[in-house]
Amino acid sequence: MTGFVSNSIVEQIRSTSDIVEVIEEHVPLKKSGKNFVGLCPFHSEKTPSFSVSSEKQIYHCFGCGEGGNVFSFLMKFSNVSFPEAVTKIGKRYGITVPTEVHGSRGKSLYSSQADKKEKYFSVNRLAAQYFQQNLFKGCGKPAQDYLHKRNISSDSVKKFQVGYSSKSWDFLLTHFRKKNVAFKDLEKIGLVISKGSGTGYYDRFRDRIIFPIIGLDSKIRGFGGRDISHNEKTPKYINSPESVIYNKSEILFGFNIAKESIRKKGFVVIVEGYFDLISLYQHGFENVLATCGTALTTRHAGLIKRYTNNVVLLFDSDEAGYKAAARGFEILLEYGLNVKAVDLPKNMDPDTFINRFGLAQLSEKIDKSELFIEYLANKIVGKVDLNSLEEKLRGLSTIIPYLAKIKNSIELSEYIRKISELFQVSQQSLQDQVKKKLETKKTTIDSNVEVKTKKKVSDWSERNLVRLTILHPENIEKVKRKIDSDHFSDGILKEAIEFIFDMNIPTEELSPQKIVELIPIEEVRKNITELLMETIEFDNPDKVLEDCIQSILKKAKQKDVENLIKQRIEAVNSKKVVEFQKLDKDLKDLQGV
């Protein structure tokens, strides 16, 4: 379903629905203090770290960082779009949702958010076109040669919209200046980077082959770039950073092209690189997706599950590829997908393999691919001296956590049989080990899932300023008058406050859960739900808010002073008298001397 749901209906459903009721239909919850807790549906855990607040109508998982309101829960849990989630919850509460055609309402909030996204999409489209044209200009010759060397056909170049970004620092900037696109917008989607000095921008992608990263809806979300400068110091590959329109955890390269074929063939092959995917495609494998430097996430798994239950991992046959496959397997297993893996000859990637041995040989490899657990067991057993009990046990301890995740008991006993043979241990003893694993309270599997590393301690006053502004939206105007987002030192909180400042919604229409819902960047949203779940309560929140403002201003001023002092020293060292005098005056003004 596409289209937009009218604001008033969303509003009505938001205020009628109860997040605890909706989540409880899918996740058993227990009351704990002011909140409800349960086992997180988005990562594997045995002690509950998934909290739901009935008062704030939001949820947050302290294990994996997931968070949001009732709509975002259903979107993530059932893999549905925003209008679909709204409709489902509406139905539960007896509210029918008529959808409207885009643009039929004036400047509603959702359409203005959507407009913004559309604008970014069109900028990306222009950029992609420009990169493509550039590939065929004189300066694109080395890029063409490189593609030729890698056996990439001109049909593939067209199909995947491959392009080239020049060596220049302002190739795109100049282009977009002519088109009157604001540089700030280019920065927001990661095409350009702001210079450290704060004056001006430069291109992110320079002297690279460019692959547009395209969503299932065929819109360009971001770009990947392969360096061809042969400069040792530059990374081989870079990708666009996450933005309002690009969320790495939900985009896989090639999905827009592969989806039909995945459905038809009944399985998907996952590779690691752009060139792997395109090479396979050229040889007739169309049901292929590439991770391109991103670890597989539960969101990816959910998207794949919409098209098939069968996944074949075709990763590089080196240590890094094997580790990435093992991590990916775990996520896919959680989602109940059947995962197989292909074992390529040592130190080979799919691109090299298919170019050397051709389609038939790779097809055979894929047909004969092993279930992932066997692949894993074979890899491990190859490194273990089976005469040493200690080594045997160490090898098995790597496999047991995976076995413990298999829910189907027939499947499990089959694996136990095979693996016990492989490792030459009795079936019974292996079974006991798996059982023990299942019983142990402390789960070691969790560490492999995408658990966020412990949050760095961000500034207390910045955290509480954001928290109090969201909990009491009537403060927004006051805070906006006194503080500039540039005063923030924490990047995520800065994004959050910028968003809050730019919302332009009457405060009486705002609630914490609505703000959470509107925050477009997932990373920011997760941080906010975590902040909001904190149970600290202040006797005098107005006073705390004022203290936070003062503390942030003081720190920002201190930073300015330090910067000026540094610059003044530099001016003295390089004997720039006029500049020194100016800096000295600025400094005195700032210090109020």
Which parts of this chain interact with Zn ion (CB under 5 A)? Answer: 40, 42-43, 61, 63-64
Q: Which amino acid is at 339?
A: V
- The residue among 43 and 379 lying less far from Zn ion, judged by its C-beta, is 43
Both tokens of residue 116?
């913004």
Is beta strand 50-53 parallel, antiparallel or unpaired with respect to 58-61?
Answer: antiparallel
- The residue among 42 and 274 lying less far from Zn ion, judged by its C-beta, is 42
Q: How far is the CB of 248 from Zn ion (least distance, A)?
A: 18
Is beta strand 201-203 parallel, antiparallel or unpaired with respect to 99-100?
Answer: unpaired
E strand or H helix that includes residue 163: strand 163-165
Q: How far is the CB of 444 from Zn ion (least distance, A)?
A: 16
- The residue among 77 and 499 lying less far from Zn ion, judged by its C-beta, is 77
Q: Is 68 exposed, middle or buried (0-12, 13-18, 19+ CB in 10 A)?
A: buried
Q: Is 467 helix (H, G, I), strand (E, B) or coil?
A: helix
- The residue among 63 and 83 lying less far from Zn ion, judged by its C-beta, is 63
Q: How far is the CB of 50 from Zn ion (least distance, A)?
A: 6
**What's the rounded Cα separation, in Å, for the pair 412 and 435?**
11
Q: How far is the CB of 526 from Zn ion (least distance, A)?
A: 10
- Residue matched to tokens 């019974």: 428
Q: How far is the CB of 73 from Zn ion (least distance, A)?
A: 12
Both tokens of residue 79?
């893999």
- The residue among 59 and 499 lying less far from Zn ion, judged by its C-beta, is 59
- The residue among 143 and 516 lying less far from Zn ion, judged by its C-beta, is 516
- The residue among 374 and 446 lying less far from Zn ion, judged by its C-beta, is 446
Nearest to 591 by CA among 563, 551, 549, 552: 563
Q: How far is the CB of 44 from Zn ion (least distance, A)?
A: 9
DSSP summary character for residue 242:
P
Q: Angle CA(271)–CA(339)–CA(159) in degrees, nearest 5?
A: 30
Q: How far is the CB of 449 from Zn ion (least distance, A)?
A: 8
Q: Is 364 helix (H, G, I), strand (E, B) or coil?
A: helix
**What's the rounded Cα separation, in Å, for the pair 428 and 431?**
5
- The residue among 42 and 415 lying less far from Zn ion, judged by its C-beta, is 42
- The residue among 73 and 499 lying less far from Zn ion, judged by its C-beta, is 73
Both tokens of residue 131?
């990169």
Tell me if 432 sits within 8 A of 450, measured CB to CB.
no
Q: How far is CA 549 from CA 481, 483, 484, 510, in A?
A: 11, 7, 10, 22
Tell me if 562 sits within 8 A of 554, measured CB to CB.
no
Tell me if 19 sits within 8 A of 36, measured CB to CB.
no
DSSP summary character for residue 551:
H
Tell me if 208 sits within 8 A of 226, measured CB to CB.
yes
Q: How far is the CB of 62 from Zn ion (least distance, A)?
A: 8
Q: How far is the CB of 525 from Zn ion (least distance, A)?
A: 14
Q: How far is CA 510 from CA 236, 403, 474, 501, in A?
A: 45, 47, 9, 13
Q: How far is the CB of 451 from Zn ion (least distance, A)?
A: 8
Nearest to 514 by CA among 81, 100, 17, 4: 17
Determine if residue 335 is left, alpha or beta; phi over 0 gives left, psi from -120 to 50 gives alpha, anything else beta: alpha
Q: How far is the CB of 400 from Zn ion (least distance, A)?
A: 23
Tell me if 488 sits within 8 A of 552, measured CB to CB.
yes
Q: How far is the CB of 78 from Zn ion (least distance, A)?
A: 16
- The residue among 180 and 447 lying less far from Zn ion, judged by its C-beta, is 447
**What's the rounded Cα separation, in Å, for the pair 111 and 114?**
5
- The residue among 38 and 140 lying less far from Zn ion, judged by its C-beta, is 38
Tell me if 181 sits within 8 A of 199, measured CB to CB.
no
Q: Give the start-end residues of each E strand in 343-424.
A: 370-371
Sheet with 370-371, strands from edge to edge, namely: 288-290, 268-271, 310-313, 338-341, 370-371
- The residue among 59 and 402 lying less far from Zn ion, judged by its C-beta, is 59
Q: How far is the CB of 45 from Zn ion (least distance, A)?
A: 7
- The residue among 29 and 510 lying less far from Zn ion, judged by its C-beta, is 29
**What's the rounded Cα separation, in Å, for the pair 44 and 173?**
45
